[in-house]
A and B are shown apart, each in its own frame.
Chain A
């Protein structure tokens, strides 16, 4: 077995009976950037929550550093989470704290450091995302893209060994996008971390990821290095990678036939 920091083994999960994941297997080798791609609503955010132990799988398990996440008690779970940093899809900044205090939050909570060192750490992280000048703003005074970058700085504040990014590129302008893209790669290599990158952006993901999983219909439909996937002749992968409208991937959330739905009128 290779040195996998996170392993997902035959994982099934569903909200309220509707099974979202139907037996997913993935492995995340230490030190790599792994992208998880898939359409909207395919359960990518949910997958990150399962890795973080916020949800309990219906079947199968997630192992982080060899430990089954959902079998940990609170203490063990918090111990594992201390090694993880997560960038939430909508930032999830603490609205009652300034940008500076948001980034300082995990440091203050977990390390008993003098204020001058905290300040240095916070400045370094904010500088990395290009927002050192915005340190005194409140989260409500930030644009969506800026908030996301602050959230990124907060996620890496404690130099985690697993960094999870939930859609880090949405809402970024082209420049911040390529800066963030390079940042993810360089952070990964500088910290010796493992990055799990959830995204729809094929171009960005393929440019920095070492390995890509494409999920659809609750299973891993395709996986491989970016180059392999680009060359793939599987119709599904081809459609996804090249963003074509026609193909095996449905755009709609599963629903009854459109024409019948419309004709049925109000009582549906």
Chain B
């Protein structure tokens, strides 16, 4: 009985130490990425290419989702607001929900699924097929050549994608609220203009999406780089990318929101 307990405890300790170890190597990996960024900026075309692959290729799914999210927001918001006779506030509701929360968060979740998995799988396979080893043997640092450009591409793409998400979402909300439901056009826009604050809403939304961009891209890169060089290892790493990125985004969102609302 006591032996069994000791075994369980030992197993738990092992797992915890393992996690902490991974966290440590993740942090070191992040640091190296920053250090080697200078090297990769000298060949900016690599980063631009990755912006195309991570950012531009994610546009479609993000814009379509944004459109639907905006329309649903308008429907749900109108349903509640009209009970209090303030259905013109629908514009504010849609815009604030999108700019403050849904834009950054949903974009990050979609980004993790669309671009994050692609990054992990690609890097994992490069490792499996010894491409990273070959690069190292040619005296080229894979962190400078492969990791850093993808990192900066993710960090640049995420706020832009989130901004587009909010924009298209507002458009979707408008199309449902004004032409379909019949809310007054002028009230919709003027209320929005009066109540969305640049500092408190827009800047904070952008800060969130930059933080999510760093987190999602870093997790995807690290999981790929750290994946065991087998087919199974890469597939597991891809799954972990989605799970860990999603949890990180939601957790960070709570922390950031509490700071932003308190201060």
Binding site for B on A (CB under 8 A): 52, 54, 74, 77-79, 81-82, 84, 86, 88, 90, 92-95, 105-106, 109-110
Contacts and interface: CB of A to CB of B under 8 A. Distances in A.
Main secondary structure of the interface of B (DSSP, over half): helix
A84 to B, nearest CB: 7
Contacts of B139: 77-79, 81-82, 109-110
A93 B137 contact: no
A90 B141 CA distance: 20
Closest 7 CB pairs of A and B: A92-B134, A92-B130, A78-B139, A81-B139, A86-B137, A82-B139, A106-B138
Contacts of A90: 129-130
B140 interface: yes
Interface string B121-162: 000011001110111111111000100000000000000000
Contact of A88 (B134, B140, B145): B134
B14 to A, nearest CB: 17
Contacts of A93: 131
Contacts of B134: 86, 88, 92, 94
A95 B137 contact: no
Contacts of A78: 139, 141
Contacts, number: 47
> Which one of A78, A79, A92 has the greatest number of beta carbons of chain B within 10 Å?
A92
9 contacts: A78-B141, A81-B137, A81-B138, A84-B137, A92-B129, A92-B133, A93-B131, A95-B126, A109-B140
A56 to B, nearest CB: 14
A54 B137 CA distance: 8
A78 B141 CA distance: 9
Contacts of A95: 125-126, 129, 131
Contacts of B135: 94
B190 to A, nearest CB: 50
Contacts of A81: 136-139
Contacts of B130: 88, 90, 92
Contacts of B145: 109
B136 A54 contact: yes
A94 B138 contact: no
Contacts of A74: 141
A78 B36 CA distance: 15
B131 A109 contact: no
A2 to B, nearest CB: 26
A93 B141 CA distance: 16
Nearest to A151: B134
A79 B140 CA distance: 11
Contacts of A79: 139
Nearest to A83: B139
A192 B128 CA distance: 33
B133 A88 contact: yes
Contacts of B141: 74, 78
Contacts of A106: 138, 140
A171 to B, nearest CB: 15
A190 B137 CA distance: 23
A92 B131 contact: yes
A82 to B, nearest CB: 5
A88 B145 CA distance: 20
A26 to B, nearest CB: 19
A90 B135 CA distance: 14
A77 B131 CA distance: 18
Given A93-B131, A106-B140, 15 more contacts: A54-B136, A54-B137, A74-B141, A78-B141, A79-B139, A81-B136, A88-B133, A92-B131, A92-B133, A94-B126, A94-B134, A95-B126, A95-B129, A105-B140, A109-B145
